[in-house]
Structure 1
Amino acid sequence: MLSINNLHAGYYGKVKVLHGISLHVPKAKVVTLIGSNGAGKTTTMRAISGMIKPTDGEITMGEGNAAKRIDAMDSHKIARLGLAHSPEGRRVFATMSVTDNLLLGAFPRLTWARPKGDIAADLERAIELFPRLKERRNQLAGTLSGGEQQMLAMARAIMLNPDLVLLDEPSMGLAPILVDEVFRIIERLKNEGVTMLLVEQFAAAALNVADYGYVLENGRVAIHGPAEQLKNDPSVKAAYLGASH
């Protein structure tokens, strides 16, 4: 579904952040990126979704003959191919209602850049999947709590009816009870066959829900393997799991 080969990326005027990482996200699987702050996790997500342009390497999305290189594409074109990004920091449209935020997630479908499908039914599904949003569907997004905004950002991504979802730090800044709820939702999406790449500060929780994991250190893949294997790896335990959720 998503393949990254020898990816190098950074930010204008700054040193490179990624130094040749490679990873693969199979269809209908959950893959997680874990690592310390500054390891390159969010930069990886931004490079995949077109928010920054890689300086070298390839990013390919799709299966078989339908696979396309996306590393030189703009973000809106990547979204049309079926990639949804729930970014770090939520970034909801504060002066718009919850419902309008969700409909913006379906914008490529409304413009026929992607198959339209039943948007009304998917809107109700999103509200049902994130029940905290149901009674707030007409409320301005900027008046929601942090946890509610995080759920709105995730629900907005799902409204694309995506082939692949990038979830960047979905539990950041949330109370423990809301962290548990976020991971229950991720588990449900996984059971529905949604393909996800997950960046998460709570490494243990991420590995519990993921099928496969990559550990980033200083912009490089230090170790990777099945999630269960990483959970039992002594070096991963010592560095990332001692105080994890």
Structure 2
Amino acid sequence: MLTLDNLHAGYGGVDVLHGISLTVPKAKVVCLIGSNGAGKTTTMRAISGMIKPSRGAVLLEGHDITGFDSHRIARRGLAHSPEGRRVFPNLSVADNLLLGAFPRFTGSRPKGDIQCDLEQAMDLFPRLKERRHQLAGTLSGGEQQMLAMARAVMLDPEVILLDEPSMGLAPILVDEVFNIIADLRRQNVTMLLVEQFAAAALSVSDYGYVLENGRISIHGPSEQLRDDPAVHAAYLGGGHS
């Protein structure tokens, strides 16, 4: 479970987020939608330690992780699949995935059967299985996005943050990415999803929050938000569905 309580964060001493509060319950998918510049990616960065909140709290499984460095947060069980993918281009697909499990090798996370989890991750992302020995930098954009998501899964995390997984992808690959998110949801993987295609995000999530100018303007069950006239007019009119 992930909880944000009155979170303020930004850059250069100027807050972008002005008191964000939200909850991601265990085994649920929660989406955060909003226009460009609303603060969605800032929220994800503040959660995962890429930037330090100026006020408020981030709780993971009831433990306060506010302001922790990213590696400490990962050890606590939070995996971040960031905007822009950020794979290791000179390493193979398999090695990128094993790096996702690094805290499990060091003993800071329960180890489990890493090799079995590697094979399961590749079964979930069949394109990666075909390219397991290929350098990540030679993959297509869509394949790199799948690799970033699979790498997050390899942590065996408590919560996964997915930041704009469809960015820059062709429509057919967007569909494939959202099918994978739906599969993870059926496996009771806990996720916070930030996504430009609001309709698609609401279709694979249990609950949604709308972020406007660094503040939550409305929230509720995803089905309810999809039927809300104001949300539909602002975010669902021309989006991917």
Please state which band the TM-score falls in when normalised by the shorter chain: over 0.9
Letter in 2 for 1:54: P
Within a 5 Å distance, the mapping from 1:20-99 to structure 2 comes to 20-62=19-61, 67-99=62-94
The one-character-per-residue Cα deviations of 1:198-223 (angstroms, maximum 9, x if unpaired) are: 00000000000110000000000010
Match of 2:231 among 225, 228, 236: 236
Q: What SS does the aligned partner of 1:48 have?
A: helix
Query: Secondary structure, in 3 states, of the residue corresponding to 2:44?
Result: helix
Q: Which amino acid aligns with 2:20?
A: I
Q: 1:132-174 CA distances to partner (integer Å, 9 max, x unpaired)?
A: 1111111110000000000000000000001100000000011
Question: Percent identity, aligned pairs only?
Answer: 76
1:40, 1:182 → 2: CA distance? Answer: 23
Using the alignment, how far apart are the partners of 1:149 and 1:75 within structure 2? 22
- Report the AA paired with residue 212 of structure 1: Y
The list of structure 1 runs, each at least 4 consecutive aligned residues, that deviate by more than 6 angstroms after superposition, is none
* Residue among 213, 216, 222 paired with 1:221: 216
Aligned residue number for residue 12 of structure 2: 12
* Residues 52-201 of structure 1 mapped to structure 2, 5 A cutoff: 52-62=51-61, 67-201=62-196
Question: Any stretches of 5+ residues in structure 1 without a counterpart?
Answer: none
Consecutive unaligned residues in structure 2, runs of 5 or more: none
Count of aligned pairs: 240
Taking the aligned partners of 1:5 and 1:76, their CA distance within structure 2 comes to 22
Quote the offset at 1:77 in angstroms: 0.7
1:45-67 Cα offsets, whole Å, 9 max, x none, are: 000001100000011110xxxx2
Q: Which secondary structure state, in structure 2, belongs to the residue aligned with residue 183 of structure 1?
A: helix
Per-residue CA deviation, residues 9-54 of structure 1 (Å, 9 max, x unaligned), is 00125x3110011000000000000000000000000000011000
What's the Cα RMSD here? Answer: 0.7
Q: Which amino acid aligns with 2:95?
A: D
1:72 to partner: Cα distance: 2.1
User: Which residue type is aligned with residue 9 of structure 2?
Assistant: A
In structure 1, C-alpha distance between the alignment counterparts of 2:69 and 2:230, rounded to whole Å:
38
SS in 2 for 1:78: helix
2-side partners of 1:72 and 1:36: how far apart? 26
Alpha-carbon separation, structure 2, partners of 1:45 and 1:167: 8
